Amino acid sequence: MVETEQLRAQMIEAAEGQLAASPDFDIATRSVCEAVGVTQPVLYRLFGDKRGLLDAVADHGYERYAQLKAAQEQTGDPVADLLAGWDGHMAFARDNPALYQLMFAPRPWSHSRARDRVFDLLVAALVRCAAVGRLRIEPRAAAEMALAANVGIALDHIAEPARFDSVERSHRLRDAVFARVLTESPASDAARDDEDPVRAAARRLRAQLQLAAADALEPEESALLLRWLDRMTGSGSR
């Protein structure tokens, strides 16, 4: 079992190296097998086919992405951390263009969950913003907007790498997106933005409960409270 996992890791590493070196961001399974010293039936046994190997490379890319995110210092200002996260995402795309495209460009046949897992990391960052009253819409809805914009401009920069030399275009888009999903001040000023203050308070409380469970409540009571808060914020049962 250990040998199988080691062999699998070696083949993923070889495929990623070939992917990065390829001018068209592609791999040849025969070359991957030769690099590791195995026959192609071994690849088929471990990954199913070339698509399965590429999915494994994409998922391994997520692990690297998550490690970079974990290494990013988390401050007491979740909004500042969110903005830094955008720039970190762009840096990952700049440093790993082939891997990034594999993770985020549409592949209809793919079963990789790399993009979904990156989305979950972004939702967690936005929940922190909601908990301090800085989010004007639900975290998942905000994450959908932010990730689509971040991925879009990252892929655009990969197509023209010289654009990575300046952050101006990236920051203009970043600021435009976050101006739509973030408030300029905590939830106490939500009414100034023409939002129902009860709904804003419910969103903030729900986020706080996600970050720290209410020890005074039984699990069933917590579940019921979350259900009520979902109804109050209009987010449904997620």
What is the set of domains in the chain, with CATH numbers? 63-182 (1.10.357.10)
pLDDT at 236 over 60: no
The more confident residue out of 228 and 104 is 104
Helix or strand or coil: residue 135?
A: strand
Would you say 7 and 36 are in contact if contact means Cβ atoms under 8 Å apart? yes
Tokens at 69, concatenated: 């995110």
pLDDT of residue 237: 43
Nearest to 170 by CA among 89, 71, 75: 89
pLDDT of residue 223: 75
pLDDT of residue 161: 96
CA distances from 196 to 9, 47, 75, 140, 211 (A): 52, 51, 29, 19, 23
The more confident residue out of 51 and 207 is 51
Residue 192 pLDDT level (bands cut at 50, 70, 90): very low
pTM for this predicted structure? 0.81
pLDDT of residue 71: 87
pLDDT of residue 82: 96
How many separate helices (H) and strands (E) can be counted in the chain? 11, 0
pLDDT of residue 231: 76
pLDDT of residue 214: 61
Give the pLDDT mean for 158-164.
96
pLDDT of residue 215: 67
pLDDT at 201 over 80: no
Reported as a single tens digit per residue, the pLDDT across 10-57 is 999 999 999 999 988 899 999 999 999 999 999 999 999 999 999 999
pLDDT at 193 over 60: no
Q: Give per-residue burial for 40-76: e unless 16+ CB within 10 Å, then b.
A: eebbeebbeebebbbbbbbbbbbeebeeebeeeeeee
Give the pLDDT mean for 97-103.
96
Computed over every residue of the chain, the mean pLDDT equals 88
pLDDT of residue 60: 96
Residue 149 pLDDT level (bands cut at 50, 70, 90): very high
The pLDDT > 70 percentage for the chain reads 88
pLDDT of residue 50: 95
